[in-house]
Amino acid sequence: MVNYNDIAKIAQVSSTTVSHVINKTRFVSPETKKKVLEAMQKLNYKPNLLARSLATGVTHTIGLVISDIKNPFYPEIIQGVEELAVKSDYNIFLCNTDYDIEKGLKSIGALIRKKVDGIIIASSQADKFLFKEIVESTIPFVLVDWNENKINADSIYFNFESGIKEAVEYLISLGHKKIYFISGPKDLKTAKIRKNNFINIIKKYENNNISYKIIEGNHKIDGGINAAKEIEKENPMPTAVICSNDLTAIGLMKTLQANGIKIPDKVSIIGLDNIMLSEIVSPPLTTIELERYLIGKTAIELLLNRINSKDIPKQTRYFQTKLIIRESTTIAKNL
C-alpha cells in the first residue's frame, strides 16, 4: 500500500509536504505541488477520504437544502452550486424539504451529524428553530431568498419588486384594468413578499380605474388549476393575471385553454421564475426572471469564502428581477 513516505521519496520532498498537498492544510509552491501530484499519479495513489477527514476535520461535503425537488425552479440553482463545488473538491448532499418545516429540521440535523463543512439553505420554508440548531452547530451556512436582514448570516436576497412593478405597468400600458394575482402558500414568507409587492404597486393605480383581486395558490400546477376554476366564475373575468411562480401560471393557462378561453386574447398571463418550461408551453409564457444558475454559483462562492475564512464580515448579495415578454400577454380587449 502506497503511503506518504513513498510519494515523498519520488517527489524528493518531505512526507509533511506531501500531507499538506493532499490535505490542503498549508500553502505549497506550485512547483513542489506539481512534483507531489506527479509522484501520486506515478504510484497510482488515491487519497483515503475517510482518513483525511478524520485527520483534518474537513469532510469536503456541503449540504444543499431546497424546498421542492419537483419544482423546475431548482435544477439551475443546483447546477450552479454543484459545478463550482466539484471544481473545489466538494461533494453535495441534497435535501428536499417539500415545504415541510419538520422535514427541514430533520434534514439540517442529519447534515450536522454528518459533519458537513457548510450548508446552503435554498428552502424558504423554515423557522427560528432551524436557525437555532444550525447556529449552535457553528457550521458555516448561507441563506438564499430569505429577505431578512436581521439574521446575522451570509445571505442572498431577491428583489421581486422590480420585476413585479415592470409586469403591472406593462399590463396597464396594454390597457388592462382588471388584474388578478395568484399568490403562493399563505404561510410561505417569500410568497407573502411577492403578494405584498404586487398589492403595493397596483394600489398606486386604483385612481386610474384599475381593480385587482388576490387568489391564494400553492406554487404548484394544481394551484393554478384551482385558481382557473375560480376565475372562470367571475363576471366579467379579469383580462390579466400575474402568478407568484411559473408553475402556477402554467396550470392556470392550460386549464383556461382546455375550457375554451383563449390565451392571451381573452386573458393575458404572467408568471415568475422563468423556468425552462415557460419557453416551451403554448403560448410561450411572459414571466419575471430570476438568474437561478448565477444564484447557485454565488451561494457556493459565499459558502466557500466562509469555510476558508470564518472571521470575514457578513457577506450579502442582491439579485434583481426583470420582465421577459413572450406571447402569453397582449392588448386588453376591454378598451
The predicted model gives 298-303 an average pLDDT of 96
What average pLDDT does this structure show over 126-130?
56
Entry pTM: 0.80
Widest Cα–Cα separation across the chain: 85
Q: What pLDDT, on a 0 to 100 scale, did the predictor assign at position 124? A: 64
In the structure grid, which three cell numbers stand for residue 15, read together?
512526507
Q: What is the pLDDT of residues 138-196, one digit of tens each?
A: 889 999 987 555 667 899 989 999 999 999 999 999 999 999 999 998 878 888 999 99
Mean pLDDT for the chain?
88
Cα three-residue angle 221-163-141, rounded to 5 degrees: 75
Q: Taking residues 307-327, what's their average pLDDT?
A: 91
pLDDT at position 130 is: 62
| Res. 49 pLDDT band, cuts 50 70 90 | low
For the chain, how many helices (H) and strands (E)? 13, 12
Instruction: Assign 3-state DSSP to the chain and report helix, strand, coil percentages, each to 5.
Output: 45, 20, 35
Residue 239's pLDDT band (boundaries 50, 70, 90)? Answer: very high
Higher pLDDT, 40 or 135: 40
Residue % of the chain over a pLDDT of 90: 56
* 276-280 contacts, C-beta under 8 A, 24 or more apart: 276/72, 277/72, 277/246, 277/247, 277/250, 278/246, 278/249, 278/250, 278/326, 279/326
Q: Domains (ranges, CATH) in the chain?
A: 4-48 (1.10.260.40), 61-158+291-320 (3.40.50.2300), 160-289 (3.40.50.2300)
- pLDDT reported for residue 45: 83
**3-state class of 254 per DSSP?**
helix
Query: Is it the case that residue 250 has pLDDT exceeding 70?
Result: yes
SS3 of residue 229 by DSSP: helix
Cβ–Cβ under 8 Å, residues 270 and 248: no
Q: Which residue has the cell 506550485?
A: 30
Q: Which range has the worst mean pLDDT, 105-114, 268-277, 323-332?
A: 105-114
Cis upstream peptide for 264 (omega within 30°): yes
